[in-house]
C-alpha cells in the first residue's frame, strides 16, 4: 500500500461515524474511577497536561482531539505541518506527543530522531500513530525512544488509557526530577551554611589568639583579606584564594602558647623574650598538624584538650593553615625563622602571608608602637623587596593597594 492509499484509508474515519455512545460510556467509567479513588490524584492533574498532535491529515487530529476532550483533556498543540513541529515544541514543550509516522517532507521517525538528540525535547514521551504493521518500523521507533504505539484508525478504548498511562508516568518522572532539584538545592544550602560556619569558626579561633595582644582582633581578618587579594593577583583560582584567606586567619594561632607578659610588653623585647615570641610559629604548626597516636588517645581520655584541639586533622584548610603558621616569618634571603628557609623553598602561602602580616603590623597600632602612615609603610616594604619579601608577591600586593586600603578602612580597629 502506497502513502496516498494509506492516508485515504486512515482518514476515512470521520467524527460523525464514531460511536458517540461508546465514548460517553468510557468517559463516565473514567469519572467513576476517579470518584472511587481507583486512580491516584496525580492522574487527575494529567487532565491539565498539554498534548501535542502531529499529523498531516487534519481529520486525524480532529478525531484524536475530540476523543481526548470528551475524556476531560483541555490543552492541545496541533500541527499538520511536521516541518514546523520542532520549533513549536521548543517554544512551548508539551507533556506528550501523538506523532504520525507517515508524513510528507519529514517523517515521524525523522522528527523522533531529532527530538531525542535535542536536550530540551528528549524527555518528552511520544506515542506513535501508524497504520503500518511493519515490525521493522516499530523496532526503529522503539530504538529511538518511542513510548507506545497506537494503530490507525484510532480506537478510543486504546487511546485514552494509553495517553493516561503515559502522562501519569511523565508526571511521576517530573515529580522525581523536581524532588531531585529540591534536594540538590537543599544540599547546596547546607553546604553553604557549613562553609559559613567553618569560616566563622576559623575567624573566631584566629581572633582568640589575636585578642592576646590586640583589642579588636581585626588584624587576622585584614591579613586574611590581604592574602586573598595577593592570591588573586598571582592568578590563583577563586576557590584557592578563599582557602588561603581562611587559612591565613590562623597565622598567629601559636600566640596562645606565648605569655601575656611578652605579648603585652609596651617596650622592646630583650633577647630571651624575643626568642620566646619567635616560638609562636612552631606552636601554631603544632596546634594545626595531625596528632600522633599517643596524642590522639590522650585527647579522648583527658579533659585538658587545650592547644591540641585541632590535632589529627586531614583538612586541606588546617594543613594549609599549619604551613602558614610555621613559615610566615621566614624571609626571602634566608634570615627569617624558625627554619631559616630562603627563596622558593618557603611555601608560597608563607611568602604571601609574610607581606600581608608585615604591612598590617606596620599600619596598625601595637603595644610597642603607633600606626605608621601609608607612605612609610610602603617605603619599608619596598626596601625589603628581595630581602624579606618575594619580589613577585610584593609586587602583587602593591598592584592591589587601592583594594588594600578599602579593606583597611572596612576592618579598622576603631570601627
Return d(Cα 99, Cα 106) in angstroms, integer: 12
1: which DSSP letter?
Answer: -
| DSSP for 83-111, written as a single string | GGHHHHHHHS--SEEEEES--SSS-HHHH
| DSSP for 181-201, written as a single string | HHHHHHHHHHHHHHHHHHHHH
Q: Which three cell numbers stand for residue 414?
A: 576603631
Please tell me whether the peptide bond between 394 and the residue prior to it is cis, using omega within 30 degrees of 0.
no
Catalytic residue among 7, 152, 170, 255: 255
| DSSP for 388-400, written as a single string | TB-HHHHHHHHHT
Contact between residue 253 and residue 325 where contact means Cβ atoms under 8 Å apart: yes
How many Cβ atoms are within 10 Å of 299's Cβ, its own excluded?
A: 15
Sign, CA dihedral 65-69-70-72, equals positive
Q: 50 exposed, middle or buried (CB, 10 Å; 0-12, 13-18, 19+)? A: middle
255 catalytic residue (yes or no): yes
Q: What is the pairing mode between strands 50-54 and 126-130?
A: unpaired
Contacts of 135 by beta carbon, 8 Å cutoff, 6+ apart: none
Closest CA to 250 of 194, 215, 288: 288
Contact between residue 100 and residue 54 where contact means Cβ atoms under 8 Å apart: yes
Return d(Cα 366, Cα 369) in angstroms, integer: 5
Coil, strand or helix at 369 = strand
Return d(Cα 99, Cα 285) in angstroms, integer: 69
Catalytic residue positions, numbered = 255
Amino acid at each position: 500500500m502506497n502513502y496516498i492509499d494509506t492516508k485515504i484509508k486512515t482518514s476515512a474515519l470521520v467524527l460523525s461515524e464514531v460511536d458517540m455512545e461508546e465514548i460517553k460510556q468510557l468517559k463516565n467509567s473514567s469519572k467513576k474511577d476517579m470518584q472511587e479513588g481507583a486512580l491516584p490524584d496525580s492522574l487527575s492533574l494529567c487532565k491539565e497536561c498539554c498534548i501535542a498532535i502531529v499529523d498531516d491529515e487534519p481529520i486525524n487530529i480532529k478525531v484524536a482531539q475530540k476523543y481526548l476532550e470528551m475524556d476531560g483533556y483541555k490543552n492541545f498543540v496541533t500541527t499538520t505541518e511536521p516541518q514546523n513541529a520542532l520549533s513549536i515544541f521548543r517554544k512551548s514543550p508539551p507533556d506528550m506527543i501523538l506523532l504520525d509516522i507517515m508524513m510528507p517532507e519529514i517523517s515521524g521517525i525523522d522528527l523522533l530522531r531529532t527530538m531525542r538528540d535535542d536536550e530540551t525535547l528528549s524527555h518528552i514521551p511520544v506515542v506513535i500513530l501508524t497504520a503500518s504493521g511493519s515490525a521493522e518500523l516499530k523496532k526503529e521507533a522503539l530504538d529511538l525512544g518511542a513510548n507506545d504505539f497506537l494503530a490507525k484508525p484510532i480506537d478510543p478504548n486504546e487511546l485514552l488509557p494509553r495517553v493516561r498511562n503515559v502522562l501519569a508516568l511523565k508526571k511521576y518522572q517530573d515529580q522525581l526530577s523536581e524532588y531531585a532539584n529540591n534536594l540538590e538545592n537543599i544540599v547546596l544550602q547546607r553546604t553553604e551554611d557549613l562553609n559559613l560556619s567553618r569560616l566563622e569558626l576559623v575567624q573566631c579561633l584566629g581572633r582568640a589568639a589575636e585578642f592576646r595582644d590586640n583589642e579588636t582582633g581585626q588584624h587576622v581578618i585584614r591579613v586574611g583579606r590581604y592574602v586573598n587579594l595577593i592570591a588573586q593577583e598571582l592568578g590563583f583560582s577563586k576557590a584557592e584564594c578563599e582557602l588561603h584567606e581562611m587559612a591565613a586567619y590562623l597565622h598567629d594561632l601559636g600566640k596562645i602558647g606565648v605569655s601575656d607578659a611578652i605579648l603585652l610588653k609596651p617596650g622592646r623585647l630583650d633577647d630571651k623574650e624575643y626568642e620566646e615570641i619567635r616560638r609562636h610559629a612552631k606552636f601554631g604548626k603544632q596546634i594545626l598538624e595531625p596528632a600522633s597516636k599517643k596524642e590522639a588517645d590522650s585527647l579522648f581520655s583527658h579533659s585538658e584538650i587545650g592547644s591540641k584541639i585541632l590535632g589529627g586533622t586531614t583538612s586541606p584548610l588546617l594543613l594549609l593553615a599549619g604551613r602558614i603558621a610555621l613559615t610566615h616569618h621566614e624571609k626571602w634571603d634566608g634570615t627569617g625563622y624558625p627554619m631559616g628557609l630562603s627563596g622558593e623553598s618557603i611555601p608560597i602561602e608563607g611568602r604571601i602571608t609574610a607581606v600581608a602580616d608585615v604591612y598590617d603590623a606596620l599600619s596598625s597600632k601595637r603595644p610597642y608602637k603607633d600606626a605608621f602612615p601609608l607612605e612609610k609603610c610602603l617605603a619599608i616594604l619596598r626596601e625589603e623587596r628581595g630581602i624579606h619579601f618575594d619580589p613577585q608577591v610584593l609586587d602583587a600586593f602593591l598592584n592591589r593597594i587601592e583594594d588594600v586600603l578599602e579593606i583597611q578602612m572596612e576592618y579598622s580597629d576603631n570601627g
